[in-house]
């Protein structure tokens, strides 16, 4: 008998899952994917794929089936501090992260937009470390004071040093990937230990529709060999980089995920891989991603269902309520897709702290979104279904037509079974409001002032800094 239950949204019937899978296999077999890397194309050709002179790789069903068999169905996203490890798939509410690499922030003191630095990134990392509502850290701002050729590496290193939780990151070349593995290995205790318990993972986005860029896909191969989890985040946008139909969008995103899985598993059988959608329609008036469209929920639910069908851990949808400035600058209808997308059965969700469609961020927005998520989790927590919670004996004792309110069973179990909103924070959730911003700023300032992040040994920090300098010298030589 099933022991746990939680609210989950679904959008596909079983036959529709079958249809999406069959159509995705047809896409991979007959249309294929464009891979702009000779080495990866050769690897797949040697493994049984059909390749033409343009670098289009047509993947047979047998390779997809083999990749699905080899990929691990569960694994741990390690953290610098083991108590912060995240085992996926989840048993309960999904784990959430900040959003990734925005290009500006609102200054917490002046309230004005400005570009960001490594110091800002360190503050966001430290704030994430302190907040219970954020489970892992995706570097949320760009380090513009780092050299252009190495800003990704500086962002990864700064994040690891200032947050003891799991770090999710990006990488755009194989050389960057190798360098990041070296850096993380210093903290993890060597490459073997890192492979056993990866303290960082990597978002590697296919370029919709159905293509993989040279640097990113070669980095993906290096990460797969090192045992670093890959998040194959498809950003198939209805009407722009995917068919405008919802079915076509889901099939495009599903095909990209299966192709990415094939790349990882034929590079390194058993490499950890996370199925991922951040797919949605575009706003037909502006061309921007429409995070608030009602179709987002159906797309996210379908992605979670397909991931579950394949036995894949997943990162679907987003969380957070930021608008174009700190606060909750969106209506109830606009916030609803964010909330419902977390109820689709996904394991991981990004988005904390983002503003203006992930172009900007603010420290106080991280606090607001973190607190908001702590309340939203009330809708996606687990419930126990067993003889004890059936409460048969209690029902018998209370009898017909009487009240359970005064029975000891109610007081003993209500806090575990029922979710209680924080009344002090309830006023924060007013739509189109920024009245919570001053209080959120004070929370952020206090946590940055008082919270102590577990420190990395100074000798390891020095070794890491040396590795980054060596990487930068190599890049200067290439240029």
- Name the residue range of residue 396's domain: 383-417
Contact by Cβ (8 Å): 47, 332: no
Contact by Cβ (8 Å): 433, 327: yes
Handedness of CA 153, 158, 159, 165 (dihedral sign): positive
Q: Residue 242 falls within a domain, yes or no?
A: yes
Residues 247, 307: one domain? Answer: yes
Task: Please state the φ and ψ torsions of residue 301, each to the nearest 5 degrees.
Answer: -60, -40
Q: Check residue 273 and give its pLDDT.
A: 98
Q: Which of 86, 89, 275, 356 is nearest to 198 (CA)?
A: 86
Contact by Cβ (8 Å): 300, 253: no
Q: Check residue 1 and give its pLDDT.
A: 38
Residues 106, 180: one domain? Answer: yes
Q: Residue 149 falls within a domain, yes or no?
A: yes
Residues 402, 274: one domain? Answer: no
Residues 405, 261: one domain? Answer: no
Residue where one domain finishes, among candidates 379, 400, 430: 379
Residues 400, 327: one domain? Answer: no
Q: Check residue 479 and give its pLDDT.
A: 60
Contact by Cβ (8 Å): 139, 207: no
- Reported as type and span, the H/E element at residue 377 is none
Buried b / exposed e across 91-130, counting CB within 10 Å, b at 16+? eebbbbbbbbbbebbbebeeeebeebbbebbbbbbbbbbb
Residues 139, 232: one domain? Answer: yes
Residue 341: give its domain's CATH number.
3.20.20.480
Residues 173, 205: one domain? Answer: yes
Residues 135, 222: one domain? Answer: yes
Cis amide leading into 422 (omega within 30): no
Residues 319, 403: one domain? Answer: no
> Which two structure tokens, joined as six digits, stand for 434?
């920024």
The residue to which tokens 């008998």 are assigned: 1
* Domains contained in the chain, number: 2
Q: Residue 25 falls within a domain, yes or no?
A: no
Q: Residue 51 falls within a domain, yes or no?
A: no
Q: Residue 22 falls within a domain, yes or no?
A: no
Q: Which of 69, 34, 71 is nearest to 54 (CA)?
A: 34
Please tell me whether residue 23 adopts helix, strand or coil conformation.
Answer: helix
Q: Residue 292 falls within a domain, yes or no?
A: yes
Q: Which of 249, 275, 376 is nearest to 319 (CA)?
A: 376
Q: Which residues of the chain have pLDDT under 70?
A: 1-4, 417, 421, 478-479
Q: Where are the alpha helices (DSSP H) in 189-245?
A: 191-196, 214-226
Residues 84, 174: one domain? Answer: yes
> Which two structure tokens, joined as six digits, stand for 402?
């009487």
The residue to which tokens 């995917």 are assigned: 242
Residue where one domain finishes, among candidates 379, 403, 429: 379
d(CA 316, CA 408): 41
Residues 332, 403: one domain? Answer: no
Residue where one domain finishes, among candidates 379, 399, 428: 379
Q: Residue 438 falls within a domain, yes or no?
A: no
Residues 273, 390: one domain? Answer: no
């Amino acid at each position: 008998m099933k022991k746990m239950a939680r609210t989950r949204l679904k959008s596909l019937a079983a036959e529709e899952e079958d249809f999406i899978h069959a159509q995705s296999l047809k896409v991979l077999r007959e249309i294929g994917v464009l891979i702009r890397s000779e080495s990866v194309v050769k690897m797949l050709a040697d493994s049984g794929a059909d390749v033409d002179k343009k670098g289009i790789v047509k993947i047979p069903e047998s390779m997809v089936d083999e990749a699905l068999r080899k990929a691990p169905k569960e694994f741990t996203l390690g953290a610098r501090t083991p108590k912060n490890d995240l085992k996926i798939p989840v048993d309960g509410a999904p784990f959430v992260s900040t959003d990734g690499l925005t290009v500006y922030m609102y200054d917490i003191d002046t309230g004005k937009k400005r570009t960001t630095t490594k110091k800002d990134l360190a503050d966001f990392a430290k704030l994430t470390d302190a907040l219970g509502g954020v489970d892992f850290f995706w570097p949320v701002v760009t380090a513009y004071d780092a050299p252009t050729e190495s800003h990704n590496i500086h962002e990864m290193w700064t994040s690891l040093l200032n947050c003891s939780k799991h770090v999710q990151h990006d990488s755009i070349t194989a050389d960057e990937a190798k360098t990041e593995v070296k850096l993380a290995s210093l903290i993890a205790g060597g490459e073997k230990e890192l492979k056993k318990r990866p303290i960082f993972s990597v978002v590697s986005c296919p370029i919709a529709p159905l293509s993989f860029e040279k640097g990113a896909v070669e980095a993906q191969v290096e990460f797969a060999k090192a045992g670093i989890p890959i998040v194959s985040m498809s950003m198939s946008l209805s009407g722009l980089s995917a068919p405008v139909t919802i079915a076509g969008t889901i099939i495009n995103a599903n095909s990209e995920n299966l192709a990415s899985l094939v790349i990882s598993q034929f590079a390194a059988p058993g490499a950890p891989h996370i199925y991922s959608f951040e797919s949605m329609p575009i706003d037909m008036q502006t061309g921007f991603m429409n995070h608030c469209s009602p179709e987002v929920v159906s797309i996210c639910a379908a992605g979670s269902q397909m991931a579950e069908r394949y036995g894949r851990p997943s990162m679907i949808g987003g969380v957070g309520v930021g608008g174009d400035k700190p606060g909750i600058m969106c209506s109830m209808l606009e916030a609803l897709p964010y909330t419902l997308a977390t109820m689709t059965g996904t394991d991981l969700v990004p988005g904390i702290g983002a503003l203006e469609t992930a172009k900007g961020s603010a420290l106080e927005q991280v606090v607001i979104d973190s607190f908001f998520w702590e309340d939203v989790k009330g809708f996606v927590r687990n419930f126990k279904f067993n003889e004890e919670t059936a409460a048969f004996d209690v029902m018998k004792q209370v009898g017909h037509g009487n009240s359970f309110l005064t029975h000891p069973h109610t007081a003993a179990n209500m806090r575990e079974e029922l979710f209680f909103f924080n009344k002090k924070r309830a006023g924060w959730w007013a739509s189109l409001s920024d009245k919570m911003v001053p209080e959120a700023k004070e929370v952020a300032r206090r946590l940055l002032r008082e919270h102590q992040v577990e420190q990395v040994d100074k000798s390891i920090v020095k070794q890491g800094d040396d590795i980054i300098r060596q990487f930068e010298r190599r890049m200067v030589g290439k240029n």
